[in-house]
Amino acid sequence: MTQIIDGKALAQKMQSKLAQKVQDLKDKEGIVPGLAVILVGEDPASHVYVRNKERSALQAGFKSEVVRVPDSISQAELIALIDNYNKDCSIHGILVQLPLPAHIDDNAIILAIDPQKDVDGFHPMNTGKLWSGQPVMLPCTPAGIMEMFREYEIDLEGKNTLIIGRSNIVGKPMAQLLLNQNATVTLTHSRTKHLPELARQADVLIVAIGKGHFVTKDFVKEGAVVIDVGMNRDDNGKLIGDVKYDDVAEVASYITPVPGGVGPMTITMLLEQTYQAALRSVSK
């Protein structure tokens, strides 16, 4: 029988423990983990994400600052705003919500963030540390997926794992985290030939391609673990994943739902990394 990997329940459990750790840090060191989120423009999905992040941060006892700026802001003005937070000792994590307006270079903004406060794990300094086997700040979605594997005691060693999607946010860092656990990793994408055939060989299938219901049970080996990172809307506006859930659940051993799967864990890892950054600031 297929087991559902309940990301929402795991996120609640981890955030409850995190709230206690935050209280202990405040009591012992007088430090409150501080998270600053910068939201540019009026993208509706970004506003929802940021609101959820802010609510979770406050519930866990964090100092939470959300700065909403118009999409007319210049790149130089945005970098100056980031620099203020780089210098602010009460802020341990900085996140600039993507996507950004076309006139702003994402890479320049990522580079402007102090790597020690880069809780998204996108700065080249942090991606380099990940790829050299010395991870500090990790992209939050792959980090959350690894926590799911731990919670459900899914052994990755020697397993054939296949990722569909090669983004810097999910696919590429996911590959390295799996390699760190001695999995055998295949990284595929929209132009990979014979993709269903390749996917059917995987013990663990992670789908992050951004196409609703792209993966059907024709892609999935009997008994495989299936992780769905997708967040799409169908024609009726309903939130769906990249995996056709009901279809794939017939053959998978474990599967994540959408919503309630990977999403809540992404926010949890953002908070966890902000806490860890605050902890590291104590020993400076």
User: Shortest CA distance to 203 belongs to which of 250, 243, 143, 163?
Assistant: 163
Whether the Cβ atoms of residue 275 and residue 18 lie closer than 8 Å to each other: yes
Single-letter residue type at 212: G
- Which tokens in the block code for residue 243? 């995996």
The active-site residue out of 6, 53, 116, 228 is 53
- What distances in angstroms separate CA 163 from CA 67, 93, 235, 246, one per listed residue? 34, 28, 26, 20
Alpha helices in 181-261 (DSSP H): 195-199, 245-248
Whether 53 is catalytic: yes
Of 6, 15, 63, 97, catalytic: 97
The active-site residue, picked from 120, 203, 228, 242, is 120
Query: Which residues participate in the annotated binding site for NADP(+)?
Result: 165-167
Q: Strand 254-255 to strand 225-228: parallel, antiparallel, or no bridges (unpaired)? A: parallel
Q: How many CB atoms lie within 10 A of CB 92?
A: 28
Q: From the annotation, which residues make up the binding site?
A: 165-167
Structural contact between residues 199 and 219, judged by C-beta atoms closer than 8 angstroms: yes
Query: How many alpha carbons fall within 13 Å on the CB side of residue 83?
Result: 7
Annotation says 228 is catalytic: no
Long-range contacts, stretch 194-197, CB < 8 angstroms, 24+ apart: 195/164, 195/219
Neighbours of 193 (CB within 10 A): 7
Q: What is d(CA 278, CA 272) in angstroms, rounded to the nearest whole number?
A: 10
273 is catalytic: no
Dist CA 80 CA 201 (whole Å):
49
- Positions annotated as catalytic residues are 53, 97, 120
